[in-house]
Chains A and B, each alone.
Chain A
């Protein structure tokens, strides 16, 4: 009689198809007459199968984990906090290298801070004034160029390859209606080859441009995905009356990869250089805030953040929602309904933000 180990070896060779015809014949006869053996064979098969399944799944899980991480880091790259408007001819290549992140981040923040751009709503701005704003900008850009050259040199000295990415910009935007229309600043999406929006709720939605008005610095986008089923009911309404100086206001936007709340008040009925289509507001905004919604204390939409004054600290501008809705109504080929929620959001700001945040997006643009 065989011992256990020999029997197990025989079972194994049987399962692996290694028995000789003679052995096989005897083994099968034995198997039919012995239910314990039959059970042992089934167990052996089950455990070796489970072992294989385990190995395959482990492998696959690793792969999927990697795919997911890559997807997220791509999105992160997309979301990198930089939106800088630079005249075409001065546009500099931006260098991205993960392992040089610290120094790059330093350069990028220099870009973000010093390139004070910041687009102005052009209505009523004289050509001269605009010129001077841009001159100042160019000077700043020269400085950045030098820093970047230094960085490139540093990288070159180490003889490592560099990845140069051109034209990844981000801004903010918000939903206008359930059908997937989103409002953002024109300068955020100008020259875009592809546009995506994202927030906590939506990882990535492809957008197309429906209507723009550069003078009001506004653009209407629409979700470009035939599987998109629509947003939920828009929780805010567009306020018809003009906001007065002193009114408390706030904005939500994406100056970085997470949504940031910023508050202040209306400083003036008019925007940059007396622009009547915009308010001046006292919210400190950063590149990336452009296109974000401006809400009053009741959570009503009163404007869209469009830029700031590079020479005056804390002076930002928002285009009045009334101008935007009237312009869209008058000039857009597509009928685009404005947010008109009847019920109030209440006066608790934290509650308002909670209700509204899913409708505010980061707008990511590739040129």
Chain B
């Protein structure tokens, strides 16, 4: 299972390389299965552009799953990717009401509920919108602190605040606003900021 060699390496090895953050393997995988997914989407009333989007979304989901150390591939990689794409495309078709639920398949696929597949993309989109409307300097401050692990002292200096407390206050306001915008568009049932 999963022993099909691609350019001399097995699928297990490909996944291990991917887990180790090997950049080249992503390209190899990308080229290997592109055609399969293009066929799937285009044979089911999709365009080439839609096929490309579905394929990239599929690889993102795959990549996020692989990053989990407990990830185990129980079928051929091709089947796995095809199944993710199939679900995504089916969902999109239903959304667009182009047709109901019949996909003409060229591959085997797994009937697995990809419960969180679309959820993460929704989250991504909500965050994207939120960050867009958040504006500067908030966006940069939050990125520096949460993504680039910069200290408040560094941020104080970079953004020219007179002292760290001012910077902290600014960051607090930024995060509060981000939470508000994000939860508004993400439609989370939470979204309460703490009130005494």
Contacts and interface: CB of A to CB of B under 8 A. Distances in A.
Contact of B183 (A43, A54, A57, A60): A43
Contact of B188 (A7, A11, A46, A205): A46
Interface string A152-169: 000000000000000000
B97 to A, nearest CB: 26
Given A5-B172, A71-B30, A55 B147 contact: yes
A43 B193 contact: yes
Interface in A119-156: none
Nearest to A200: B48
Chain A residues touching B, majority SS: helix
B196 interface: yes
B194 A36 contact: yes
A67 B52 CA distance: 12
Interface in A35-59: 36-37, 39-40, 42-43, 46-48, 50-57
Interface residues of B, number: 48
Contacts of B126: 50
B59 A64 contact: yes
A202 B35 contact: yes
B65 interface: no
A236 B60 CA distance: 41
Nearest to B35: A203
Interface residues of A, number: 43
Contacts of B188: 43, 46
Contacts of B52: 68
B124 A64 contact: no
Nearest to B34: A203
B30 A64 contact: yes
Chain B residues touching A, majority SS: helix
A37 B194 contact: yes
Nearest to B121: A57
B191 A205 contact: no
Interface in B97-145: 106, 120, 123-124, 126-128, 131, 142-143
Given A51-B127, A57-B60, A8 B194 contact: yes
Contacts of A36: 192, 194-195
Interface in B75-116: 78, 106
Contacts of A2: 196
Interface of A: 1-5, 7-9, 11, 36-37, 39-40, 42-43, 46-48, 50-57, 60-61, 63-65, 67-68, 70-71, 200-205, 227, 229
Given A64-B56, A203-B35, 14 more contacts: A4-B196, A5-B168, A7-B194, A36-B194, A43-B179, A46-B188, A47-B182, A47-B183, A54-B131, A55-B143, A57-B120, A65-B56, A68-B30, A227-B78
21 contacts: A4-B194, A4-B195, A4-B196, A5-B169, A7-B194, A8-B172, A9-B172, A11-B194, A36-B192, A36-B195, A39-B194, A43-B190, A47-B179, A50-B123, A53-B64, A57-B120, A60-B63, A63-B26, A65-B56, A67-B31, A71-B31
Closest 5 CB pairs of A and B: A40-B194, A54-B127, A64-B56, A67-B30, A43-B190
